[in-house]
Structure 1
Amino acid sequence: MDEAITGPRCPICGNDRWHARPLPECTHCGLAVAGLRFDAVALREAIRAHLAGGPMTGFMLEPHARRNAAWALGMVWQADGWRPATPRSPDVTLGIIARASDSDTVAAMLAALRPTFLKAIVVLDGTIGDAATLAMQARGVQVMAHPLGGDFAAQRNRVQALADGWVLHLDTDERPDDALLGALGWLTAAADRDGLCALGLARRNLVDGVQSALWPDIQYRLVRSNVRFAGRVHERPEVPFERTSLALTGAIDHRLDRARVLARSKVYEAMSAGAGRPGDEAALLRPFTAAT
């Protein structure tokens, strides 16, 4: 396995880990740079200029990394090259897994997000019947109940089985930002063109309202409905790497507090050995800076 080193944050994805290869390469998006002493703003603009037809100087982009960079910069492939994406209405289902006790929160999420999505599906770890759940159904939301049973992948797969096309999965403490919502249409269209079926989204963790150092915290949450997830905790779609990509326009905002960070590490470790991820816990409790 390649040694990974810590360095400045990648100008494309914001990650601070680099493969120590002949050219340092971002462990997330694949951008390779001539050296780790770079002006991030200038390098980002140089990449944008290259995608528009200019030279590639001071960096390298393999095909998958070129797509990651282009999408992060709001560009898609057209007949004459990489061009700014044109906004389009998304043909995407919103999928939410939640506890039955969170039905009021889910109802509020749906009130804010439902207009963007053609369909919404909610799977509750509990029973259906309270007023908030009935209100969801009245708005045309498909609601089912099934015990979580300590298996997040299985619960997401219940959403998948009820959906068609692309699905954006959210938890009750997550919200897509405006940039991500505005990009869903062209991102999924571009993914269909390239034969992709799972897209990794950046998640911005806000602990007690402060962005944490765990960024971009990639989550594969935008997936085709025929895909299935695996893993009781930290679930991921079961698809070949070549049918995935990063979609780095916008982010999912994840709001939690310090007590929740500490508690979930213990819960996850109890569910699956190693799932507590002490490194993630430490990064969540450390504030974000441009350098770490």
Structure 2
Amino acid sequence: MDEAIAGPRCPICGNDRWHDRAMPECNHCGLAVAGLGFDAAAVRDAIRASLTGRAPDRGFALAPHARRNAAWALGFVAEDDGWRVATPMPHAVTLGMIARAGEADVVAALLDALRPQVADAIVLVDGDAAPLAARVPWARVGSHPLAGDFAAQRNRVQAMATGWVLQLDSDERPDAALLAALGWLTRAAEREGLRSLGIPRRNLVDGVPSALWPDIQYRLNRADVRYAGTVHERPAVPFDATALALAGAIDHYLTRSRVIERSRVYEAMSAGAGRPGDEAALLRPFTAAT
């Protein structure tokens, strides 16, 4: 296996780890560059020129899956034998959420804000769901104990939906770019037979963006997809049925105390799930270089 070396952040996905090869390759999105002394804006411009047929690949290389990752990140979708600029379009994406009891106010505010932009909403509460159900009668609100198994709770939400499902937690918000892209992203995914899309998550700790970026979360899935893993759950689908949807992000709001407590709780749930490396990155402010 290639050693992952630190370097500048990828011009496409923002990752700062690279496979140590003749052409260093981003170990997230697959962009390969001639060297790590690149100008990020120039690389993006060169990829745009390649996608629109104005110039050949020069200074970078993209395998087919990496080309799709880059195209979507830059707002292009496949059309016939080429690429075109994506445009917003209607969608039927269901918003799915898992929440804790006592979060009715927070969840209701989020659901009401997103109501014009989602086709349906499903929320499973780990506890009494009545306060939330009364606040958002238009949403489907149910109750089921989390019982220390995040995958099982997400799968209950998946089973209640059809089509595509965007799953969020109560401390997460989709940004405007992601909401605007849901239609063309899901249409493009269906065209290519994809079932699970990984979305960058932007962690904000006490309001400060953290170094843990892009923190890919596979949260946009076909309803028949099921998650596995009690903690840090991931969709149980073949790799070739997945892609990175880099056209927007999920904002994740945390406090320093919550980060530390979360690591402790996750470690207690599953050995190794505390991920001290992730905790350290969450508590370190984002910089463009590392």
SS at match of 1:249: coil
The aligned residue for residue 280 of structure 2 is: 282
The aligned residue for residue 254 of structure 2 is: 256
Alignment-mate amino acid for residue 159 of structure 2: A
Structure 1 distance, partners of 2:168, 2:84, is 30
Structure 2 distance, partners of 1:72, 1:87, is 14
Aligned residues: 289
Q: 1:77-92 to 2 correspondence within 5 Å?
A: 77-92=78-93
| Shift, 1:135, TM fit | 2.1
- State the Cα deviation string for residues 235-256 of structure 1 (Å, max 9, x = none): 0000000000000011100010
- State the Cα deviation string for residues 170-215 of structure 1 (Å, max 9, x = none): 0001000100000000000000000000000000000010100000
- State the Cα deviation string for residues 152-173 of structure 1 (Å, max 9, x = none): 0000000000000000000001
Alignment-mate amino acid for residue 221 of structure 1: R
Task: Tell whether 2:76 aligns with 1:75.
Answer: yes
Alignment-mate amino acid for residue 5 of structure 1: I
TM, length-normalised to structure 1: 0.98
Q: 1:116-265 to 2 correspondence within 5 Å?
A: 116-130=117-131, 132-136=132-136, 138=137, 140-265=138-263
Task: Tell whether 2:110 aligns with 1:112.
Answer: no
Q: Percent identity?
A: 71
The aligned residue for residue 41 of structure 1 is: 41
| Structure 2: runs of 5 or more not aligned | none
| Shift, 1:120, TM fit | 0.4
More deviation in 78-87 or 238-247? Answer: 78-87
The aligned residue for residue 13 of structure 2 is: 13
- State the Cα deviation string for residues 65-86 of structure 1 (Å, max 9, x = none): 0000000000001125111002
| Shift, 1:23, TM fit | 1.2
Task: Kindly report structure 1 stretches of 4+ aligned residues shifted beyond 6 Å.
Answer: none
Contact 2:133–2:139 (8 Å) recurs in 1: no
TM, length-normalised to structure 2: 0.98
Structure 1 distance, partners of 2:237, 2:227, is 9
Alignment-mate amino acid for residue 244 of structure 1: T
Contact 2:99–2:170 (8 Å) recurs in 1: yes
Alignment-mate amino acid for residue 110 of structure 2: M
Structure 2 distance, partners of 1:114, 1:275, is 34
